[in-house]
Amino acid sequence: MAEKLKIGLFGFGCVGQGLYHVLNNSTGFKASLECIVVKDKTKKRPIASELISYNKWDVLDNGDISVVVELIDDAEEAFEIVSEAMRRGKHVVTANKKMLALHLNELYALQNKFKVSLLYEAAACGSIPIIRTLEEYFDNEDLKRVTGIFNGTTNFILTQTINERISYPDALLLSQEKGFAESDPTNDVEGYDPKYKAVILALHAFGKIIDADKVLHLGITTLQDEDIQYASEKGYKIKLMPVIERLDDDKFSVFVAPRFVSKNSQLYNVDSEFNGVIVEGKFSGEQFLQGRGAGSLPTGAAVLSDVSALSYGYRYEFKKYAQSQHVEFTNEVMVEIYLRYNNPADLEMFDFKEINQKYTEEKYSYVVGTINLNELRTKRKYILDNKLFISLVSNKLTLIVKTPVVEKGVVEEKSKILIQ
């Protein structure tokens, strides 16, 4: 029988209010919201004043509260709250993907030490139950890849640029007016948000906790009208897509970049604030999930789903974390990209293995070719500072295998195409 839960909530912004609405309008679920901890004492809120507190210890010291729901923005403050709650034997639900991505090791250890549950479905892909899908349905199947559209804000912006033919700055402004993008949209448009989500999903897909700082993330801030026109003329849409992909039995890669998506992809018609996730298994093939990736109620519903699961004693088992320690993360991968650049000096900064297309005129130049992913990672600042735009062109990844040649005392690079 489900246990009636008493909840302490941290944060009452967009998602917190969504949770409050969903909780109060759900039937058949036994839970009560005991306390909501916020910071701003001057802000008016549409809730009873007796629920409001400005002191975190009103929740953490309350022995009747068994579940802490953390929905604040500050990642380090969130980690302090979550870790203290777990030490005190409280179960935790969070939607803070940055906090999770940066502290997975510590949080995994705390869950095991204090025998509590830490659930975070809402931190991944909005209303899509991707984490539980990976945990429960693909726990014993080797996966080839997890990819898709993980950020509803950037997908809305990109949809406007392609479908409505408006510029990136105007599309960004529209997304802010509709409440999808923050006044400072850096986290979304520079690719941090989908990167943190990819780091989280890599744990559940391949059983590895990876360093977020080593994961390349290229966003859409340098997108220009010429790039939009190029994509449209080729019949593509542009999507900001994380890639979590197995390269062989021992290696996998994780990165985030724009990608040209053709009409034969299931992601082609995933528009506006919607997310779409492709999971490809060794035996089951491709599975496709779609749902809203932004908004108060969809994300609030995902949080409530985790709270509901706690009432039945649910917790992540991290089966692949124990099974797949031999799999290693790598950036030594060749990828095929479109690079729009400003002048010959820009192009000379990049060591392409092969250039398949090249176009040059006074105001618009680009190449399409294959390049080492690690080189893009090390030159990310140059790309942003000089307003270059990069998009993946194909799904083909090539693992770089470095073999020592003893006689010559050098390293020879051999490439094998593993995924078409």
Alpha-carbon gap, residue 300 to 234, rounded angstroms: 38
For residue range 153-163, list pLDDT tens digits in order: 999 999 999 99
- Cα separation of 258 and 393, whole Å? 9
Residues assigned a catalytic role: 197
pLDDT of residue 391: 98
Domains, the chain, ranges and CATH?
Answer: 5-120 (3.40.50.720), 132-295+326-402 (3.30.360.10)
- The residues near 212 (Cβ < 8 Å, ≥ 6 apart) are 101, 102, 195, 196, 199
Q: Mind giving me the DSSP string for 62-86?
A: -TT--EEEE--S-HHHHHHHHHHHH
Tell me the two tokens of residue 312: 């039945």
Chain-centroid distance, C-alpha 159: 19
Q: Are 334 and 371 in contact (CB under 8 A)?
A: yes
Helical spans, DSSP H, in 265-330: 296-310, 319-323
pLDDT at position 415 over 80: no
Q: Which residue has the higher pLDDT, 55 or 28?
A: 55
The DSSP letter of residue 214 is G
SS3 250: coil
Query: In angstroms, rounded to a whole number, what is the distance separating the alpha carbons of residues 326 and 328?
Result: 6
Sign for the pseudo-dihedral over CA of 92, 98, 104, 107: negative
Structure tokens given for 254: 């994780």
pLDDT in tens, 79-116: 999 999 999 999 999 999 999 999 999 999 999 999 99
d(CA 212, CA 200): 10
Hey, which residues does 244 pair with through a beta bridge? 146, 254
Phi-psi domain of 411 (left: phi exceeds 0; alpha: psi -120 through 50; beta: other)? beta
Residue 258 has pLDDT above 50, yes or no: yes
Residue 173 clears pLDDT 70, i.e. is over it: yes
pLDDT of 4 > 60? The answer is: yes
Nearest to 51 by CA among 38, 70, 66: 38
Q: Mean pLDDT of all residues in the chain?
A: 93
Q: How far apart, in whole angstroms, are the C-alpha atoms of residue 304 and residue 77?
A: 22
> How much is the pLDDT for 325?
61
Q: What is the pLDDT of residue 411?
A: 52
- Helix (H, G, I), strand (E, B), or coil: what is residue 312? coil
Among 223-237, 254-268, 291-305, 354-368, where is mean pLDDT lowest? 291-305
Q: Is 288 exposed, middle or buried (0-12, 13-18, 19+ CB in 10 A)?
A: middle
Which tokens hold the place of 305? 């789903």
| 99 burial via Cβ count (<10 Å: 0-12, 13-18, 19+) | buried
Does residue 56 register a pLDDT over 90? yes
DSSP 392: E
What DSSP element (H or E) covers 217?
strand 216-217
**pLDDT for 1:** 39
Predicted TM-score (pTM) of the model is 0.94
pLDDT of residue 113: 97
**Which residues are paired to 260 by β-bridges?**
238
- What is residue 181's predicted lDDT score, i.e. its pLDDT? 84
d(CA 387, CA 132): 39
74-78, 165-169, 176-180, 402-406: which range is least confident on average? 402-406
Q: Taking the CB of residue 52, how many other CB atoms lie within 10 A of it?
A: 16
Rounded distance, CA 276 to CA 370, Å?
27
Indicate if the pLDDT at residue 2 is higher than 90: no
Contacts of 195 (CB under 8 A, 6+ apart): 101, 212, 215, 217, 242, 256
Tell me, what DSSP letter sits at residue 158?
Answer: H
192 pLDDT band (50/70/90 cuts)? very high
* DSSP bridge partners of 37: 10, 53
